[in-house]
A = this chain, B = another copy of it.
Amino acid sequence: MNTAPIGIFDSGIGGLTVARAIYERLPHESTVYFGDTARVPYGPKSPDTVRRYSLEILDWLLRQQVKAVVVACNTSTAHALDTLQQHSPVPVIGVIEPGARAAGSASTAGPIGVIGTAGTIASNAYARAIQRRRPEAAVEQRACPLFVPLVEEGWFDHPAAELIAREYLKPLREARVDTLVLGCTHYPLLKPLIQQVMGEEVRLIDSGEETAAVVERVLERGGLVAPQGTRVTHRFVVSDDEARFRQVGARFIGERLSRAEVVPLD
């Protein structure tokens, strides 16, 4: 038993969908969320820079006495997970492996589709993780750079969002993928639209939900589960622009996000 919080970090706001999945799956666990809003986005930054930033955040989270760290950021997982695991005395869980594993299990007939930011798709991290488990699997990838700003605008079902989704998802429909990994933490908010465009028969994999399931197993195996009745707290910390984080973040996790502290890292 361990009442320490789980540390969760992202380059900004998107990781809140992963945090939400953790709240839902693990309602007795406290969390500290760090959003590196001063340095968002990580996607266009070099792998070295992303590793350096991620290590700074890991150090900060460890000083908050977290019992595990969730890298709720695809770019950081792609470039920094190994380094973070080497440096951390507590378990570090990324979002790519859980999503890739779930996709490998769910897919039966067609190729597996992966959508994400330009950086995540260019890193090829999902395709590699999927093919490590299923070397024969065909993977169709597509970067969807406009999805993040659409989500941050709150245009989840705007006609423009549908046109954009139809354009981005067209090659995946033509390839007849049977499973589609939402490889960006913003995308779960577009799930109804993506499902509608892809068709009901395509299985959507939400990396955040899969990651929460892995976190649960890691806590159980490590004897790190918080006892029922623990007073649960959710702390939010950002490196800049607290007001925008609160405003946009409310779309992700609702009224839980009533305030955020600002801790500049650089």
Contact = CB atoms under 8 A, between A and B. Distances in A.
A21 B155 CA distance: 34
A167 interface: yes
A39 B163 CA distance: 31
A207 interface: no
Contacts of A49: 38, 240
Interface stretch (A99-107, A144-152, A224-232): A144-152
A234 interface: no
Interface in A25-51: 37-40, 44-46, 49
A241 interface: yes
Nearest to A164: B160
A158 interface: yes
Interface in A148-206: 148-150, 152-153, 155, 158-160, 163-164, 167
A175 B244 CA distance: 27
B163 A152 contact: no
Contacts of A163: 158-160, 163
Nearest to A12: B44
Copies of the chain in the assembly: 2
A266 interface: yes
Contacts of A146: 146, 149-150, 153, 155, 160
Contact of A46 (B40, B44, B149, B240): B240
Contacts of A118: 244
A240 B45 contact: yes
A45 B45 CA distance: 17
Contacts of A150: 146
B44 A240 contact: yes
Given A149-B145, A149-B146, A244 B160 contact: no
Interface in A235-255: 240-241, 244
23 contacts: A38-B45, A39-B39, A40-B44, A44-B240, A45-B240, A45-B241, A46-B241, A118-B244, A145-B149, A146-B146, A146-B149, A146-B150, A146-B153, A146-B155, A148-B149, A149-B149, A158-B167, A159-B163, A160-B160, A160-B163, A160-B164, A163-B163, A266-B266
